[in-house]
Chains A and B, each alone.
Chain A
Amino acid sequence: MSNRVRISSLFAFMAILLVTVGVVQSPSLALAILNLCLISAIMALGINIQWGYAGLLNVGIMGFAALGGVAAVLVSKEPVAETIALGAPGLLAALLVAAVTIALIVWVYKSMKGRLRSVLVTLIVVAGFFTARHFFDPAVEAIESTDSAATGYLGGLGLPIIFSWLVGGLFAGGAAWLIGKVSLGLRSDYLAIATLGISEIIIAVLKNEDWLTRGVKNVTGLPRPYPVPYEVEIQQSPAFQSWATYFGMDVVELSSIVVKLAYSGLFAVVLLIILLLCESALRSPWGRMMRAIRDNETAAEAMGKDVKGRHLQVFILGSAVVGIAGAMLTTLDGQFTPGTYNPLRFTFLIWAMVIIGGSGNNWGAVLGGFLVWFFWVEAEPVGLWFIDLVTSGMDETNPLRLHLLSSAAYMRLMAMGIIMLLVLRFAPKGLIPESRR
């Protein structure tokens, strides 16, 4: 019961913080923070599924979130007919070659043994690689040189962007399946390092494969999901203008608030659905089994539980949730910019959310997502204010003061590290500990 009181009071505190920002700074800013809090909470839930339920260490959150972002592009952008006509046959041929190569490798690997197998596998890899490149390179060349300033890529399916949230989950889950197959069942460090690697590779691919994502040229102008209006359109409607005068607000400001509120509503629905599913999963026999595996793998295995299979399952589920959140983030931004994915912001910050909020408890992960994101955004102005105060005795042009002011933003990295260490030491279960069942 005390846990319930704790949860409600902490969330009430969070609400007060957000309202304070709305009053002191601006309501539009508070809503912008709230939207990213909601997305962060979903990511933290995904990691909590892996770490809190099963003790799996995923340090590649950035990659899975970026896969969600790609899904947003591939689902929602209009297809570019020209480039598809030019490049699709070559790409399909390359894909076919790759599939045949992989099938051959698997077949050789399973049916042979010894040195012959290694030699054959190497030969197949080399031959497959060059044959695929033979089809792939000219196709990519053709696609990327077609009107490269505006398109130069294949485009997407032209479907409503909201479908991309599911597709993003599928993409991330697929990548997780690959990684999990290789590195689950080895020492826990290896999974961490493998996920770190895959996330760097995913980002490298998204930055360089211009035919797929336009690379660092970015894809802008993604459509908005259904109920979210465009500011310009609602500003022109007379009904909306009369509302604005009724509330006594600027039309532009009110329109931005309405748009953000619409996003908040959508995100909150997704968060609630995932949270509900997580909670019922944790309460079910499946959740009990997961905890049993986490707490004592050997005993669980002796009881006939398929430890590796459960780990793979939970790893895919958690990554898929991260992928969904990644697609939502790109939807909110309205553009896909591979250059902005940075491990500190996308991987390690999410870890801070899970650890600080409370691993193993879904409410804790959600609270961590809210609190840490809020802190992350607000630490910058507060840090600046703090340094300004400390150095106010110095001369305006004092180089030390100028240096400190310019690097105040990095203080939040240090502060985040210290908070994480304090939590690990004094409240290792986080703000909302896992409840005993």
Chain B
Amino acid sequence: MEILNALALLSNYLVIPALAYGSQLALGALGVTLIYGILRFSNFAHGEMMAFGTMAVILVTWFLQAQGISLGFLPTELLALPIGILAAVLLALGTDRIVYRFHRGKKSQPVIFLIASLAVMFFYSGLTRFIIGTADQSMGDGARFIFTAREFKEWSGLDEGIALRTTQGITVAVTLICVAALFWFLNRTRAGKSMRAYSDNEDLALLSGVNPERVVLIAWILAAALATIAGTMYGLDKTFKPFIYLQLLLPIFAAAIVGGLGSPIGAVAGGFVIAFSEITVTFAYKRVLTYIMPGDNVPDGLVQLLSTEYKFAVSFVILVVVLLVRPTGIFKGQSV
């Protein structure tokens, strides 16, 4: 019984949040890794792209709510998501047309692309803040919980409850759908196969008649869509604040590199590795130990390895270890 209580506590505060956070990171890292695989640069504007897409979703949601439209049990944001994705895709394609296409034509070095993405980041961050400001915007309406801690306690008879928030459930479900759809696209469709071929060996793909502009177009569409979904899920799960998305850049890059830059399956795995380690290391184990430890042998203090403010340090340390031990990441990078 005590063990079960400890497990329930762990699932409630560690496993479920880490699953949701890991899904958000995985979606973000997929976008970064796709752009890296096709355009061969680390897109620093990705975090701001997430913020922009999420902002579009919020604005559409406000409009829908003003019209009295809602999804009932589910948050209205889901209804607004396609339009938000459309806005982000348009922005991404416009940016590519105006900025990156020129540098592609000139065959600029990857590092020039990276610096251009810094400039794009500046522009996006100004755009988002100009439209919606820097304040917190709380997202999500509909039912707050799929099941609450009390319902779980009554159902199971345990002392510790497990609550599953609607947003967490949606995040995991949406991620599963997106990842499945993406892998189906990459492995089964002609366009997806041409993308993988282009990423593997550009010259060979060009010789076999792959249209590079088309591949780049699809890559941006996918990256912008994934960024919007990831940003919206993060905003639903926590809160929307433009600055947070700038800070999310580091764990997202860490996830993409840990998994192997350019490898989609690696990005998903990396997202969960980063999320679980962040939360495991910054979790306070005190209450878990009170259940497991026999008698009154409970240590004082929170039994927390690192304070929550150092969660960046966790992604960074994992990043450094991977760079030192296996620079290509868990799944060999460089192939979409």
Where the two chains meet, the residues of A that have a C-beta atom closer than 8 Å to any C-beta of B are 55, 57, 59, 129, 137, 182-183, 186, 188-190, 192-194, 196-198, 200-201, 204-205, 207-208, 343-344, 348, 351-352, 355, 406-407, 410-418, 420-421, 424-425, 428
Contact = CB atoms under 8 A, between A and B. Distances in A.
Interface string B113-154: 011101111111111011101000000000000000000000
Interface of B (DSSP majority class):
helix
B307 interface: yes
Contacts of B99: 421, 425
Contacts of A421: 98-99, 116, 119-120, 123
B122 A414 contact: yes
Contacts of B116: 421, 424
B133 to A, nearest CB: 6
Contact of B122 (A57, A186, A190, A420): A420
A424 B103 CA distance: 9
A413 B125 contact: yes
A208 B305 CA distance: 15
Given A193-B319, A414-B127, 16 more contacts: A189-B114, A194-B320, A196-B250, A197-B254, A201-B313, A205-B310, A344-B125, A348-B118, A348-B122, A410-B130, A413-B125, A413-B129, A421-B99, A421-B119, A425-B99, A428-B112
The 10 closest A-B pairs by CB, nearest first: A413-B126, A417-B123, A417-B122, A414-B126, A420-B119, A197-B316, A410-B129, A189-B42, A410-B130, A200-B312
B246 interface: yes
Given A182-B320, A424-B116, A425-B102, A415 B126 contact: yes
8 contacts: A189-B36, A189-B261, A194-B319, A194-B323, A201-B310, A351-B118, A420-B119, A424-B112
B201 interface: no
Contact of B120 (A200, A201, A344, A417): A417
A189 B123 contact: no
Contacts of A129: 305
B253 interface: yes
B115 A204 contact: no
Nearest to A133: B305
B125 A182 contact: no
B157 to A, nearest CB: 36
A355 B129 CA distance: 24
B130 A414 contact: yes
- Most chain A beta carbons < 10 A, residue from B111, B127, B131: B111
Given A189-B110, A204-B309, A420 B327 contact: no
A415 B123 CA distance: 7
Given A193-B42, A417-B119, A344 B312 contact: no
A368 to B, nearest CB: 14
Interface residues of B, number: 50
B2 to A, nearest CB: 25
Given A190-B257, A200-B316, A424-B119, A207 B309 contact: yes
B331 interface: no
Contacts of A189: 36, 41-42, 110-111, 114, 261
A131 to B, nearest CB: 14
A193 B250 CA distance: 7
Interface of A (DSSP majority class):
helix
A122 to B, nearest CB: 11
Contact of B323 (A183, A204, A415): A183
Contacts of B114: 57, 188-189, 192
A207 B313 CA distance: 13
Interface in B73-102: 98-99, 102
Interface in B312-327: 312-313, 315-316, 319-320, 323-324, 327
Contact of A197 (B246, B250, B327): B250
B115 A201 contact: no
A418 to B, nearest CB: 6
Given A59-B44, A182-B323, A414-B130, A204 B313 contact: yes
B247 interface: yes
Given A208-B310, A424-B116, A193 B126 contact: no
A344 B246 contact: yes
B162 interface: no
Interface in B1-60: 36, 41-42, 44
A337 to B, nearest CB: 16
Nearest to A343: B246
B215 interface: no
Contacts of A352: 119, 122
A348 B115 CA distance: 10
A344 B111 CA distance: 19
A355 B115 contact: yes
Nearest to B301: A137
Nearest to B98: A421
Contacts of B315: 197
A182 B118 contact: no
A355 B320 CA distance: 28
- Most chain A beta carbons < 10 A, residue from B115, B120, B253, B310: B115
A57 B110 CA distance: 12
B97 to A, nearest CB: 13
